[in-house]
């Protein structure tokens, strides 16, 4: 009987939260309570099958369906209107009766009383005129504290009726970096490390973020920052962040390191010994800027960046026939060579039609043949947003709703194709893309078409007869689109700096904030003002002092992992490494077969002898080396498709595999020509270092290796020189961009 007395007492004394005469809303009061308790989470009743026959929409994305489930399903036994305390909806989460999910609600708590009062009022359902959440805010939004300090965050929701409520008790809190800050269920944050972290608060499918800084315990003079080199606004923003965190910038890299770094990051190749020597010998103060300008206009630039964007656009011979692959690749290469602005390329791709062998961009719609996958890949490629989770329910980590997903996908629902159906071994791959004047994508939850609309934008008018993709392209490339410009800026920045301002580089969700938001905003504005000329953006980054910093770790910046106090080394990507080994040995690989999706192979005539890995049209070319070193498979638009993780197989292949050893031993290799030139042994050592590491050896290195070669019998000199090259090619200094 205690449930009856509790409920009666609440009615008499007004112990429920809110006014005694105010009826709680199922949408705005009840659902936030069960979401906070995780009753509708993926591991409980929000799972696809539900638990114990009770299935709710994930995190409450479908209030109408949830209301029917709670009040009407199972013969209405979950709700007892005459005696709220005996409702299973309250008895289960309080464990008054057995509940496999454990206790989720305390009897007598304000949340318990809110639900009880809702039941007592007749369990009213969601109404069309319910106030809707229009803004979520968190305070303090930015703060700085010391190690061990604590603070409590406050989350407020503003509704369409103009009212603002403190919803902190029903918000879910998560820390983006547990090494810096931890947060409990009530929003209490504790600083447990140094750096900058963020805490996300989720409420009713919206997310807000609070940034918390815990400066490193370094004693650094203000003059260190004031006197640091500033070449452009990048350095201003980077140094401001380093000063806030008390991190010291590392000094400028050595000249040999810089030329090697710039070649690899801009062209994907090593500089030749002659190019390094000429650069080191040049004395003009602007020689580095002149180097940048030369690199940005080299033909290898087109090879490298065509390959990079082919990863994003999924130029894949396993999915496309040879003629279509060639057309797609050539469209991309032509635009890179012409330096077509990024927004124009996006528009061309999104609105492409006619034949896939004539207009290469149309192959985007051959790789993705349904509106949902088209929408997801447009979003991932150009906005760095993964919206796939919203296909079945509201996105659990983002603000995108199930309705928004289908509205966005419906922009592409009228794209049609005729021609090739799928077998990539027959025919020329011609597929004609056109746009129908009818056809809509049905929202499964409602059984009706969702009015087509870009993300966070109003829907198209019902009588609008334009190609919906034109509307998509206009919204996509608009200067006020908060994702389009930062997405491409972040991709380009990560290529040169080794780490994105947002990591992963294609994950720009609100709950994954940038490490330097002011810098990302400034770079985005620069890109817009430059009319999306990516070479200008690259030149800006290359010329910054931040890019030219050495990778030397100082005691005052050893704790830095993402604020660019120093340069971050990373292993060559697979294609660059294969080309670098071929350049050093002067022995090119042959690419003669492509792998199809069914695992079979097919001969290809695309690639002549001497073709570089970075000149391959697609990712289906058969190569044990590229597979071993984690090339992008181009199955989905995601940076996760490429792996830079080391493995034992990679180590064994470099140590004992054919890629290095057979090339060095070949009669036509560079080693043979070096010996034939009969230079001095010390000269051979110096040349090997310039070829492999793009620098002269130190006196100690020269002496040590020369002594080893001197002690060898004449007939073993070649073996010794091969061993020297092998040692350099398998060293970390060679394998890493630094």
Chain centroid to CA 347: how far?
22
Residues in the chain: 738
- Residue 155 is inside which H or E element, if any? strand 154-159
Q: Are strands 206-214 and 142-144 parallel, antiparallel or unpaired?
A: parallel
Question: Which of 126-130, 147-151, 674-678, 692-696 has the lowest average pLDDT?
Answer: 674-678
Partner residues linked to 419 by β-bridges:
431
pLDDT at residue 57 in the model: 82
pLDDT at 2 > cutoff 80: no
Q: Are strands 150-152 and 154-159 parallel, antiparallel or unpaired?
A: unpaired
pLDDT at residue 10 in the model: 39
pLDDT at residue 321 in the model: 84
Half-sphere exposure of 194 (CA within 13 A, CB side): 16
Distance CA 317, CA 372 (A): 22
Partner residues linked to 547 by β-bridges:
none
pLDDT at residue 6 in the model: 39
Distance CA 352, CA 304 (A): 24
Q: Rounded mean pLDDT of 584-597? A: 83
Q: Of 352, 327, 467, whose CA–CA distance to 417 is shortest? A: 352
Distance CA 566, CA 548 (A): 9
Q: Rounded mean pLDDT of 187-210? A: 93
Q: For the segment 28-77, what is each residue's pLDDT rounded down to a tens digit?
A: 999 999 988 888 887 888 777 788 888 888 888 788 888 898 888 877 78
Contact (Cβ atoms closer than 8 angstroms) between residue 619 and residue 316: yes
Q: DSSP for 469-535?
A: HHHHHHHHT-TT-TTHHHHHHHHHHHHHHSS-SSSSTT---TTS--S-HHHHHHHHHHHHHTTT-HH
pLDDT at 355 > cutoff 90: no
Q: For the segment 242-284, what is each residue's pLDDT rounded down to a tens digit?
A: 999 999 999 999 999 999 999 999 999 999 999 999 999 999 9
Strands, sheet with 150-152, edge to edge from the N-terminal-most edge strand = 150-152, 188-191, 181-183
Q: For the segment 498-530, what is each residue's pLDDT rounded down to a tens digit?
A: 999 999 888 998 888 999 999 999 999 999 999
Chain centroid to CA 395: how far?
17
Contact (Cβ atoms closer than 8 angstroms) between residue 706 and residue 685: yes
Indicate the pTM of the whole model: 0.90
Partner residues linked to 214 by β-bridges:
195
Q: DSSP for 278-301?
A: HHHH---TTHHHHHHHHHTTSHHH
- Alpha-helical (H) ranges within 197-341 are 222-226, 233-245, 255-267, 273-281, 287-295, 299-313, 322-338
pLDDT at residue 427 in the model: 56
Distance CA 350, CA 329 (A): 16
3-state DSSP call for residue 154? strand
pLDDT at 641 > cutoff 90: no
- Residue 676 is inside which H or E element, if any? helix 670-676
Placement of tokens 């980077």 in the chain: 238
Q: For the segment 146-163, what is each residue's pLDDT rounded down to a tens digit?
A: 999 999 999 999 999 999
Placement of tokens 């199809």 in the chain: 596
State the maximum Cα–Cα separation within the chain, in Å, rounded to a whole number.
105
Show the tokens assigned to 361: 């961009």
Phi/psi of residue 232, nearest 5 degrees: -160, -175
pLDDT at residue 579 in the model: 95
Is the bond into 504 cis (omega within 30 degrees of 0)?
A: yes
Is the bond into 140 cis (omega within 30 degrees of 0)?
A: yes
Residues 6+ apart with CB under 8 A from 628: 574, 647, 649, 650, 653
Distance CA 112, CA 203 (A): 19
pLDDT at residue 162 in the model: 93
Question: 598 falls in which pLDDT band (50, 70, 90)?
Answer: low
Residues 6+ apart with CB under 8 A from 728: 688, 689, 692, 693, 734
Q: Of 334, 330, 327, 331, whose CA–CA distance to 419 is shortest? A: 327
Question: 700 falls in which pLDDT band (50, 70, 90)?
Answer: very high
Question: 365 falls in which pLDDT band (50, 70, 90)?
Answer: confident
pLDDT at residue 318 in the model: 80
Residues 6+ apart with CB under 8 A from 194: 147, 180, 214, 215, 216, 217, 245, 559
Radius of gyration of the CA atoms of the chain, in A: 31
Placement of tokens 């073709």 in the chain: 611
pLDDT at residue 219 in the model: 92
pLDDT at 494 > cutoff 80: yes
Q: For the segment 527-582, what is each residue's pLDDT rounded down to a tens digit?
A: 999 999 999 999 999 999 999 999 999 999 999 999 999 999 999 999 999 999 99
Please give the mean pLDDT across all residues of the chain: 89
Q: Rounded mean pLDDT of 590-602? A: 75
Rounding to the nearest 10 degrees, give the CA dihedral for residues 386, 391, 392, 394: 60
pLDDT at residue 580 in the model: 96
**Which range, 94-98, 248-252, 640-644, is most confident?**
248-252
In our burial notation (b when 16+ CB lie closer than 10 A, e otherwise), range 689-704 reads bbbbbbbbbeeeebee
Q: For the segment 401-457, what is each residue's pLDDT rounded down to a tens digit?
A: 888 899 999 999 988 888 754 444 455 667 888 888 888 989 888 899 999 999 989
pLDDT at residue 525 in the model: 97
pLDDT at residue 20 in the model: 53
Q: Of 512, 645, 493, whose CA–CA distance to 177 is shortest? A: 512
Q: Of 362, 332, 360, 378, whose CA–CA distance to 472 is shortest? A: 378
Chain centroid to CA 554: how far?
29
pLDDT at 15 > cutoff 60: no
CA–CA distances in Å: residue 722 to residues 48, 577, 581:
60, 19, 13
Percent of the chain topping pLDDT 90: 60
Q: Of 378, 452, 406, whose CA–CA distance to 61 is shortest? A: 406
pLDDT at residue 229 in the model: 95
């Amino acid at each position: 009987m205690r449930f009856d007395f509790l409920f009666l007492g609440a009615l008499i004394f007004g112990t429920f939260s809110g006014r005694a005469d105010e009826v709680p809303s199922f949408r705005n009061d009840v659902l936030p309570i069960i979401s906070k308790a995780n009753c509708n989470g993926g591991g409980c009743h929000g799972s696809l099958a539900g638990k114990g026959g009770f299935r709710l929409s994930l995190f409450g994305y479908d209030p109408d369906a949830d209301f029917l489930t709670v009040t009407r399903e199972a013969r209405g036994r979950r709700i007892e209107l005459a005696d709220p305390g005996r409702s299973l909806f309250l008895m289960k989460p309080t464990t008054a009766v057995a509940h496999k999910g454990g206790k989720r609600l305390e009897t007598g708590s304000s949340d318990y009383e809110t639900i009880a009062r809702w039941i007592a009022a007749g369990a009213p359902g969601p109404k069309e005129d319910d106030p809707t959440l229009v803004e979520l805010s968190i305070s303090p939004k930015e703060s700085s504290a010391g190690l061990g300090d604590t603070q409590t965050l406050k989350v407020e929701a503003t509704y369409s009726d103009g009212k603002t409520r403190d919803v902190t008790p029903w918000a879910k809190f998560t820390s983006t970096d547990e090494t810096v800050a931890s947060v409990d269920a009530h929003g209490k944050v504790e600083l447990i490390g140094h750096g900058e972290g963020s805490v996300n608060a989720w409420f009713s499918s919206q997310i807000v973020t609070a940034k918390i800084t815990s400066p490193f315990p370094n004693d650094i003079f203000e003059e260190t920052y004031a006197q640091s080199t500033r070449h452009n606004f990048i350095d201003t923003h980077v140094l401001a962040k380093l000063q806030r965190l008390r991190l010291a910038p590392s000094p400028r890299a050595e000249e040999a390191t810089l030329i090697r770094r710039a070649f690899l990051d801009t062209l994907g190749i090593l500089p030749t010994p002659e190019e390094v020597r000429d650069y080191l010998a040049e004395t003009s103060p602007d020689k580095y800027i002149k180097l940048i300008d030369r690199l940005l206009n080299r033909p290898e630039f087109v090879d490298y960046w065509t390959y990079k964007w082919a990863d994003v656009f999924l130029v894949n011979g396993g999915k496309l026939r040879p003629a279509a692959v060639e057309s797609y690749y050539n469209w991309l290469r032509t635009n890179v060579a012409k330096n077509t602005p990024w927004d124009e390329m996006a528009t061309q791709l999104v609105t492409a039609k006619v034949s896939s062998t004539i207009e290469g961009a149309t192959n985007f719609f051959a790789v993705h043949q349904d509106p949902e996958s088209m929408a997801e890949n447009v979003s991932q490629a150009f906005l760095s947003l993964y919206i796939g989770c919203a296909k079945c329910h509201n996105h659990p980590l983002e603000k995108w709703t199930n309705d928004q997903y289908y509205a966005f996908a419906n922009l592409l629902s009228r794209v049609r194709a005729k021609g090739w159906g799928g077998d990539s071994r027959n025919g020329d791959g011609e597929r004609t893309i056109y746009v129908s004047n009818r056809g809509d994508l049905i929202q499964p939850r409602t059984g009706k078409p969702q009015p087509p609309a870009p993300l966070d934008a109003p829907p198209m008018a019902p009588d609008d007869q334009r190609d919906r993709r034109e509307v998509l392209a206009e919204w996509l490339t608009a200067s006020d689109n908060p994702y389009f410009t930062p997405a491409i800026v972040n991709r380009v920045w990560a290529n040169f700096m080794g780490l994105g301002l947002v990591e992963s580089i294609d994950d720009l969700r609100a709950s994954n904030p940038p490490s330097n938001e002011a810098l990302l905003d400034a770079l985005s504005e620069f890109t817009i003002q430059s009319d999306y000329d990516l070479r200008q953006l690259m030149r800006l980054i290359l010329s910054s002092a931040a890019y030219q910093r050495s990778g030397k770790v100082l005691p005052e910046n050893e704790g830095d992992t993402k604020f660019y106090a120093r340069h971050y080394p990373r292993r060559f990507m697979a294609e660059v490494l294969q080309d670098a080994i071929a350049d050093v040995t002067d022995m090119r690989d042959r690419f003669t077969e492509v792998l199809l999706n069914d695992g079979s192979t097919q001969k290809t005539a695309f690639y002549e002898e001497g073709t570089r890995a970075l000149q391959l049209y697609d990712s289906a070319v058969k190569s044990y080396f590229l597979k071993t070193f984690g090339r992008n498979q181009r199955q989905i638009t995601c940076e996760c498709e490429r792996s830079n993780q080391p493995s034992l197989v990679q180590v064994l292949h470099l140590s004992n595999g054919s890629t290095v050893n057979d090339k060095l031993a070949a009669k036509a290799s560079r080693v043979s020509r070096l010996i034939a030139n009969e230079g001095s042994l010390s000269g051979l050592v110096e040349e090997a270092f310039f070829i492999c590491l793009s620098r002269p050896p130190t006196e100690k290195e020269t002496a040590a290796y020369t002594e080893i070669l001197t002690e060898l019998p004449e007939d073993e000199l070649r073996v010794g020189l091969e061993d020297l090259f092998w040692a350099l090619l398998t060293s970390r200094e060679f394998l890493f961009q630094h």
